[in-house]
Structure 1
Amino acid sequence: MNDNRNNLTGKVLAYEAIHGAGCAVVNLNPAQSGFGNKEYDEDDVEVYSGERGVLDTTKPAEIESSEGPALWDPTEAEGSVNTKSAPKPVGAYPHARKVGDLIYLSGVGPRQPKTNEIPGGPIHDSDGNALDYDIRAQTQAVIDNIARILEEAGSSINNVLDVTSFLIDMDRDFQGYNEVWAETLGKVGPTRTTLAIRALPTPIAVEMKVIASI
């Protein structure tokens, strides 16, 4: 074997850069032209200049969304509550988490599970141009998503204790949001704080953070 190190010809099939070096897949064939007295790197070597990543078969954890940031599968940990009936998170966190007799929900928006559509329409298009939207439809969709998560946790919308709401346009949207609240969660009677914020990660106008009992 040592006398035939360079008695080979072939071609590079694929190449991947690895920590400043590289790894290649090659096809080698015996060659009569080899001298058998040189190391591999003593002659000119073929340099592969194709695209990197051709050997990468791993898939990212997140799933691309047509609107806004990438969507993630909800994380699993002790006490986590997740359901396919709620929209995917935009980061590494669960839909909710049980601690004792309480359930803490991550911020819930109006996006629809599976389709990622926004009832009432998004607040802007993909170029950032403002769009007209229905805050009542968005608020109702948020509450519907909350109900689905609580049902998965073995609770219900009637067990909501405290809500923190986030509106991206308080002047425009508070009245419509408040009307839907009165017809739904207002009848349950949780405490509530409503905050005006500049933006949310997806093109939505309202999000709610909920604490409920089991």
Structure 2
Amino acid sequence: MESISIAKDTRDHGVPWEDAYGYAQAVKVGNVIYVSGQLSHDGEGNIVGPAPVDDEGNIREHTNMEIQMKQTYLNAQKILDSYGATLDNVVEEVLYVTDMDAAFAVAGSVRKEAYGSTKPAVSSTLLVTPRLAFPSQLIEIKFIAHV
């Protein structure tokens, strides 16, 4: 069987875990951009609005959900910008959160602001997970965009 290769155009943020884990922040194939789970880090890879954790690494409270969610959308926009795209190009998002109530309380206003619309034209799924990559991380969002 002959192998068929596809052209992949990748982008990164330049944060340490890209090399440690071994992945691209986004991959464009044809007119589709697949954006890996984005989180609330700054340019150096520090979590913006880290959740307080106990000695075992368990999240003590989720009050920074809004801060983390806003930064996560900013990071997604940054990676989309590198392709000449915006959040308006997003057709699907999946939000992974550590607390449904905390996320649902802020998601509507944060998402509407991020997408610049009272009813963003994007399919969206919100899922709860007990833990994300970093103990102080409350949210991660993956995206699919078309250009």
**TM above 0.5:** yes
The 5 A counterparts of 1:22-171 are 78-84=8-14, 88-89=17-18, 91-114=21-44, 116-124=45-53, 127-128=56-57, 130-132=59-61, 133-171=63-101
What is the SS of the residue equivalent to 1:117?
Answer: coil
- Distance in 1, Cα, partners of 2:72 & 2:47: 10
What is the SS of the residue equivalent to 2:143?
Answer: strand
Q: Given that residues 87 and 113 in structure 1 are in contact (C-alpha distance below 8 angstroms), is that contact kept between their aligned partners in structure 2?
A: no
Q: Given that residues 88 and 113 in structure 1 are in contact (C-alpha distance below 8 angstroms), is that contact kept between their aligned partners in structure 2?
A: no
Length-normalised TM-score, structure 1: 0.57
* Counterpart residue identity of residue 198, structure 1: P
Which consecutive unaligned segments of at least 5 residues does structure 1 have? 1-76
Is 1:204 the counterpart of 2:140? The answer is no
Q: Given that residues 110 and 119 in structure 1 are in contact (C-alpha distance below 8 angstroms), is that contact kept between their aligned partners in structure 2?
A: yes
Q: Given that residues 96 and 141 in structure 2 are in contact (C-alpha distance below 8 angstroms), is that contact kept between their aligned partners in structure 1?
A: yes
What is the SS of the residue equivalent to 2:39?
Answer: coil
Query: Out of 112, 123, 144, which is 1:191 matched to?
Result: 123
Tell me the residue number matched to 2:4: none
* Counterpart residue identity of residue 205, structure 1: L
What is the SS of the residue equivalent to 2:38?
Answer: coil
What is the SS of the residue equivalent to 1:179?
Answer: helix
Residues 104 and 127 from structure 1, CA distance in 2 versus in 1: closer, same or farther, beyond 3 angstroms?
A: same
| Count of residue pairs the alignment pairs up | 136
Q: Which digits, 9 at most, give the CA deviation of each residue in 1:126-159, with x for residues without a partner?
A: 6525444411110000000000000112211221
What is the SS of the residue equivalent to 1:193?
Answer: strand
Give aligned-pair identity as a percent: 27
- Distance in 1, Cα, partners of 2:114 & 2:90: 11
Residues 101 and 87 from structure 1, CA distance in 2 versus in 1: closer, same or farther, beyond 3 angstroms?
A: farther
Residues 130 and 183 from structure 1, CA distance in 2 versus in 1: closer, same or farther, beyond 3 angstroms?
A: same
Residues 80 and 99 from structure 1, CA distance in 2 versus in 1: closer, same or farther, beyond 3 angstroms?
A: same
Larger Rg: 1
Length-normalised TM-score, structure 2: 0.80
* Counterpart residue identity of residue 100, structure 1: G
Which consecutive unaligned segments of at least 5 residues does structure 2 have? 1-6
| Cα-Cα RMSD | 2.3
Work out which structure has the larger RCO, using CA pairs closer than 8 Å and 6 or more positions apart in sequence: 2
- Distance in 1, Cα, partners of 2:80 & 2:39: 14
